[in-house]
Amino acid sequence: MNDQEFIPADLKNLASSGKASWKAPSNIALVKYWGKYPGQLPANPSLSFTLSSSATTTSVDFQKRKSEQKTPSFDLLFEGKPNKAFEPKIKIFLDRILPYTPWLSYYHLKINTSNSFPHSSGIASSASGMAALSLCITEMEKTLNQEMSEQQFYRKASFLSRLGSGSACRSIQGPLVSWGKHPQLSGSSDLYGTAFAGPVHEIFKDFRDTILLVHKGAKTVSSTAGHALMEGHPFATQRFVQANKNMSSLIEVLANGNMELFIQLVEGEALTLHAMMMSSTPSYLLMKPNTLAIIENIREFRKETGEPICFTLDAGANVHLLYPGKSAEKVLQFIKNELVVYCEKGQYICDEIGSGAEKL
Ligand code: PMV
């Protein structure tokens, strides 16, 4: 498929109004996307667990205007209140998707959005936020174009959300989603995320992610700037080769449930992501001393108890602690006893693998 296929036929019968509401989850990558080409195309394939409770709920009221305008107009309520700070991001997003949703320029949008996780908790809401908004917009397009199949619907929502934030395209479906072409992932695409269709071992079906909130402030370097620093990065080519190889290994591990290899792979991916940041020019560090303290404690606990737990990191200081449901009791006790002291205000979020966005 190419991006031209996402341009809808000229929609003639535009409804005077419409409403769509969706709840979209966050996701956590096991093989990381880091580095991109123009048009938000990934430099390497990635694969993530869809989360369950960390989610954004968005509803959009569409009101037809008297005439077409150059760009769609909108009002934004975040957690019930107008939020000027988020408006530029939404405007850029709506302008970016307009070639693929030209009908939007006939509408005024009332966007009402909220997150399940605490505001400013250090959890990025761009993936779940862009996914929820894209689903609402695609839902409206489906109302205007009844011929859209379910597969086309999910692909389009993922395609649009990718234009808002790359990793958002993995927040539409679940429980495992890949994004980016890879020879062993049939149907994979750089344009949108695809639900992972390969065999998945029982152990991954009840996986947990406890997010240890180490630092709740804004990041010193945004993901956008970080991706850009992969251009001309001395290790970029090697990293992209490695990500492709890691994807092949992960596909095998997901099928056979080899936890030793899973842990090696997932922790390696997280540390490589941060190694890319540390070796960029200019170089930067998003991990904090408490991030490292948690990592060391996790490794120690694993060595002592043999529990198959591991960590991963996003582009930030927080630690995602991944473990199978059967280890939950012991791990939660370990978190309370040993890790909470490293969390800002003792905060952490208990989440688990989820099945994807929900229409409300
Ligand atoms: O979606 P972006 O542009 O915010 O990039 C996020 C990239 C990572 O979260 C660091 C990795 C990933 O694959 O989600």
Mean pLDDT by 10 residues, the chain (360 residues): 88 90 98 96 98 97 89 93 92 96 96 86 82 98 91 97 97 98 97 98 97 86 94 98 98 98 98 98 96 98 98 96 98 98 95 98
Q: If you take atom 9 of ligand 1, which residue's CA is the nearest one?
A: 314
Give ligand 1 pocket residues (Cβ under 6 A): 29, 32-34, 46, 126, 165-167, 223, 227, 273, 314-315
The predicted pLDDT at position 122 comes to 62
Residue type, 127: A
> Rounded to whole angstroms, how far apart are CA atoms 54 and 42?
24
CB contact set of 236 (below 8 Å; sequence gap of 6+): 35, 43, 230, 276
The predicted pLDDT at position 42 comes to 98
Cα 205 off chain centre by: 19
- CB neighbourhood size of 148 (10 A): 17
The predicted pLDDT at position 145 comes to 85
The answer to whether the beta carbons of residues 308 and 259 sit under 8 Å apart is yes
Closest CA to 307 of 324, 294, 292: 324
Ligand 1 atom at minimal distance to the Cα of residue 168: 1
The answer to whether the beta carbons of residues 353 and 175 sit under 8 Å apart is yes
Ligand 1 atom at minimal distance to the Cα of residue 124: 4
Best mutation site among 247, 314, 319 for ligand 1 pocket (most ligand atoms within 8 Å of CB): 314
Instruction: Please give the torsion angle defined by the CA atoms of residues 104, 76, 155 and 49, in that order, rounded to the nearest 10 degrees.
Output: 170
The predicted pLDDT at position 146 comes to 81
- How many A from CA of 257 to the centre of ligand 1? 25
The predicted pLDDT at position 121 comes to 62
Per DSSP, the residues of 254-312 read HHH--HHHHHHHHHHHHHHHHHHHHTSSS------HHHHHHHHHHHHHHHHH----EEE
> Rounded to whole angstroms, how far apart are CA atoms 351 and 244?
28
Domains of the chain from N-terminus onward: 3-199 (3.30.230.10), 205-352 (3.30.70.890)
- How many A from CA of 58 to the centre of ligand 1? 21
> Rounded to whole angstroms, how far apart are CA atoms 283 and 270?
17
